[in-house]
Structure 1
Amino acid sequence: MEVINTFMTWIFKNRIGQIEKFKNNPLEIQREILFRLIHTAKDTEFGKKYHFRQISSYKDFNQWVPVHDYEGIMPYIQQTMKGQQNVIWPTSIHWFSKSSGTTSSRSKFIPVSPESLEDCHFKGGKDMLSLYVNHYPETKLFTGKSLSIGGSLQTNPLDVNKNSFSGDISAVIMRNLPKWAQLARTPGLDIALMSEWEEKIEKMARETIKENVTSLTGVPTWTLVLIKKVLEITQSSNILDVWPNLEVFFHGAVAFGPYRELFRNLIPSDGMHYMETYNASEGFFGIQDQKNSEELLLMLDYGIFYEFIPLDQHGDHEEKIIPLDQVETGKNYALLISTNAGLWRYKIGDTVKFTSTRPYRFKISGRTKHFINAFGEELIVENAENAIANTCKMTGTSISNFTAGPVYFGENQNQGTHEWVIEFIEMPADTDAFTRILDDELRKLNSDYDAKRYRDMVLKLPIVHFASQGLFEKWLKSKGKLGGQNKVPRLANNRDYLDEITKLL
């Protein structure tokens, strides 16, 4: 295994030169990507409709090709799902990533072309390993296996085309991995792609206990569930008793801050590393390229052309759309992408904030639809997650999930507030103190929230429900959304989620 480890480490190190190339020439690379996409799709139905053959500049592209949300591009996707090809992309598309992002009743089905699999999702996974082995050249990563928690697959939900499949992006990727990559992971696909999550976690735990696991890949929430199941079965005090050579957790999908201390308790090793990725159904966008950093490097050569909408103009009748060279650090932007799977000027619903433009590094700041602004407080997910993480650290507690929304003015009151439901792994000793500290942290992080909290004139102290473990899992299960890419919405500007969840308290 040492020989294989040495060889694989050398292989992955060789990609660093290409990463440096797009870091040093970001605008040139992005221009090449845009015109390659346009040229490739010029004879598709979409390309003909929007005159791709006549586009000769970014100005033309910006002027002629409309911006799409999911509802706008859905008819093209549905045509493709029914078996029609050359609609939005010239190569045949048979895979669709099922994405809800939250727990809304309507699922999104995102096309996954052969190019997006190979040149985006697979490439992102390789670059993740490349950056890791360059940070840690003495790694023994390839002497063992990667434990990856994937979703599940289904046949085409339209039931009119048996030659296409849908599922969580993790499951789509896993099902299409080359043989060498399949050999390097655990558990087998028969377990990894199961749809019944309670049975799946049990079988995953029992199967992987026998393996030499050196890395974990997945969403923090479900990874914790699996780790706890392994500890329960083995009666071990920490996971290193089971997997002594475990050295890295590649994580994504939700902010890691609230979970960091919990992982450190379960994996008590200074040699354990954590590396964040931003791999969504629509594409692989970012990788943490620096040690001990919360910033992600924008991956610019994956067949994705990026544009941005300043968040304060998002949803306006005439939104201002800017390319990469016009973004500024410290500002929130809604992300707009055109991809090698046929998504054209597509709003994915995520917001980002750039921390650097040389190279382009950023943080995920939230969702365009996940915020609370019922009283002008403009509370975004980034504020909430950082406040929760700080509060947990200060109170010696740990959580597994949370959500929050507004409590509106009533007939006999002129103040509103925010209502939180927080699921704890370790409950605070003083719940009143936890609530006050959380409020203080929110005020420090968000000046608009702080202004509305002044002397309780607009917003009162938050209402916090202290829930024990299992609440959110129970709610997700009731919605038929247990597992996979489904996540609890952190914030909502209405009470739809809150009213459902608080009924289960």
Structure 2
Amino acid sequence: MIGTVLTWAVQRRLASIEHFRRHPHEVQQQLYRQLLHTARATDWGRRYGYADAPSAREFAQRVPVSSYEELYPQLERVLLGEADVLWPGRVQWFAKSSGTTNARSKYIPVTREALHEGHYRAGRDMTALATLHYPAHNVLGGKTLSLGGTHGPNPLRPEAPDSRAGDISAVIMQHLPAWAEFIRTPPLELALLDEWEDKIERIARHVMQADVRVLAGVPTWMIVLLRRVRELAGTDDLHAVWPRLGLFLHGAVAFGPYRELFRQLIPSPQMHYLEIYNASEGYLALQDEPDSEDLLLLLNHGIYYEFLPQSQWGEAEPQAIGLEQVELGRTYALLISTNAGLWRYKIGDTVRFTSLAPYRIRICGRTKHFLNAFGEEVVIEHADAALAAACHATGTTVGDYTAAPIYFAEGPGSSRGSHQWLIEFTRPPADPAHFTAVLDNTLRQLNSDYDAKRHRDLALTAPTLTVAPAGTFGRWLASRGKLGGQHKVPRLSNSRELLDEILSQLNN
């Protein structure tokens, strides 16, 4: 009965989804005007004349494009408790993110509007689409097992008990509306534990007794939990524990390398998977069609979008384009202006449009999170696809990985380089050389720049595979205090700093 009522309630969002699918530019312009009007009396709004109601073109001319570091002087004021800096009022909650390109923690404001008009609205949209596509599962008739992080004091105001910072998943769970908390498991006192090993054990024992129908979280950590549940239950099939389990809502990392692992854990054709694009900065996109991996760009969820063509990424004053100017197949860096007070903010992610009616995207990687030491332009999208192909060809599964260049500073090979892949397998390949060859050949097929550099080994020689012992990446994350939650290992880097650090831990 409760599931039926909740299904009816959330499906009311389907009309709104269809509206912004059909009228994307009108919806974005209305949101743009609303954002500027709301922030007109803030310090930032006064500085850039928001009260003048500037056009989108004038807005782009007046307001600078900002990275986190460039916006930090204003964000620091917000963290210190100053009101009306970037958004009206005083912000009390912050999403803590290590980012994926360096170790510095970022603290992103999470306003009430960002939660309710962004994260929760999109959550209802995702739930509505799930009930539409999979009515037989009655996903709202049972529990959603959500695995997230934790939160703690605001680092700049530790004496303020009402100001907190933590994983965006923890911030979201802490403020969930009653109906959403009712269908979620485990309870908050377990979900927000900060000691990861104890957290996994206690959650696993608790959720075994629940009617779990949906999983939600980061694949990396969900696998750890599911394996423990399977061990405790003494079964090879999680449907023996949760017979009505039918859906996994996943995000934060590409799912390709994990797909086979989940098929092993849940070997049933009734299990389905939908991707979400939810970041500390907001809820940006979701998979609205089960048969396509493309993500529908969310246009009335508190985020106004601009896009930087690849040619502008390194420019001092980059020129962005609007939604109406994007083209299919091209890679863009995202600029967002949000109802949390981020203005023309470089989120760091890159996307490629696969459809313009409606606007659908695929996540390519990061503006600073790619391999381009020799002009090869390998992005996450290429790396994950090549790994998936290598796993399929060799019957292996990958738990985690990172890759970096090998530079030749001197000697006869000084003009050539290579890539080193450090991979932690959950099922190692019987023939590592074959795995590496498929990885290399797939990258050549996907990326013409990589293929050109690999031609006859002229600029780039074959990649080197280094197999990491089980637990390598978990121990590295733990050593940096980033085990669990939404923390993840940076995948690609033009620097060897990260890879060498992990290798040095292996050797000690």
Question: Separation in 2 of the partners of 1:129 and 1:137?
Answer: 11
Aligned 8 A contact 2:137 2:244 in 1: no
Is 1:490 aligned with 2:491?
A: yes
Instruction: Tell me which amino acid in the other structure corresponds to 1:466.
Output: V
2:113 corresponds, among 96, 112, 115, to 115
Match of 2:476 in 1: 475
Match of 2:85 in 1: 87
Q: How far has the Cα of 1:46 moved from its partner?
A: 0.6
Identity of aligned residues (%): 52
Match of 1:452 in 2: 453
Is 1:256 aligned with 2:255?
A: yes
The within-5 A match list for 1:35-74 is 35-74=33-72
Aligned 8 A contact 1:67 1:347 in 2: yes
Match of 2:265 in 1: 266
Q: How far has the Cα of 1:481 moved from its partner?
A: 1.2
Instruction: Tell me which amino acid in the other structure corresponds to 1:227.
Output: L
TM-score by length of 1: 0.98
Query: Tell me, what secondary structure is at the counterpart of 1:449?
Result: helix
Aligned 8 A contact 1:103 1:487 in 2: no
Match of 2:336 in 1: 337
Instruction: Tell me which amino acid in the other structure corresponds to 2:110.
Output: V
Q: How far has the Cα of 1:205 moved from its partner?
A: 0.3
Instruction: Tell me which amino acid in the other structure corresponds to 1:72.
Output: E
Match of 1:288 in 2: 287
Q: How far has the Cα of 1:317 moved from its partner?
A: 2.5
Instruction: Tell me which amino acid in the other structure corresponds to 2:394.
Output: T
Match of 1:350 in 2: 349
Q: How far has the Cα of 1:160 moved from its partner?
A: 5.2
Aligned 8 A contact 1:398 1:425 in 2: yes
Is 1:170 aligned with 2:175?
A: no
Match of 2:213 in 1: 214
Question: Separation in 1 of the partners of 2:222 and 2:82?
Answer: 38
Structure 1 outlier segments of 4+, above 6 Å: none
Instruction: Tell me which amino acid in the other structure corresponds to 1:486.
Output: H
Match of 2:425 in 1: 424
Q: After the TM superposition, which of the residue ranges 327-336 and 466-475 deviates more from structure 2? A: 466-475
Q: How far has the Cα of 1:44 moved from its partner?
A: 0.3
Q: How far has the Cα of 1:91 moved from its partner?
A: 3.3
Match of 2:464 in 1: 463
TM-score by length of 2: 0.97
The within-5 A match list for 1:210-249 is 210-249=209-248
Question: Separation in 1 of the partners of 2:251 and 2:386?
Answer: 19
Question: Separation in 2 of the partners of 1:34 and 1:105?
Answer: 33
Q: 1:459 to 1:350 in 2, by over 3 A?
A: same
The within-5 A match list for 1:307-346 is 307-346=306-345
Question: Separation in 2 of the partners of 1:337 and 1:199?
Answer: 37
The within-5 A match list for 1:379-458 is 379-412=378-411, 413-414=413-414, 415-458=416-459
Match of 1:24 in 2: 22
1:272-294 superposed Cα distances (whole Å, 9 cap, x missing partner): 11010001000000010001211
1:464-491 superposed Cα distances (whole Å, 9 cap, x missing partner): 1112321100111111111112111110
Q: How far has the Cα of 1:56 moved from its partner?
A: 2.8
Structure 2: gaps spanning 5 or more residues: none
Q: How far has the Cα of 1:187 moved from its partner?
A: 0.7
Aligned 8 A contact 1:337 1:344 in 2: yes
What is the root-mean-square deviation in Å for CA atoms of aligned residues? 1.1
Q: How far has the Cα of 1:501 moved from its partner?
A: 1.3
Instruction: Tell me which amino acid in the other structure corresponds to 2:352.
Output: K
Instruction: Tell me which amino acid in the other structure corresponds to 2:113.
Output: E
Instruction: Tell me which amino acid in the other structure corresponds to 1:471.
Output: T
Aligned 8 A contact 1:373 1:493 in 2: yes
Aligned 8 A contact 2:196 2:484 in 1: yes
Q: How far has the Cα of 1:15 moved from its partner?
A: 1.1
The number of residue pairs the alignment matches comes to 503
Match of 2:278 in 1: 279
Q: How far has the Cα of 1:131 moved from its partner?
A: 0.9
1:352-398 superposed Cα distances (whole Å, 9 cap, x missing partner): 00000100000000001111111111111111011001110111100
Question: Separation in 2 of the partners of 1:390 and 1:312?
Answer: 30
Q: After the TM superposition, which of the residue ranges 111-120 and 70-79 deviates more from structure 2? A: 70-79
Aligned 8 A contact 1:83 1:161 in 2: no
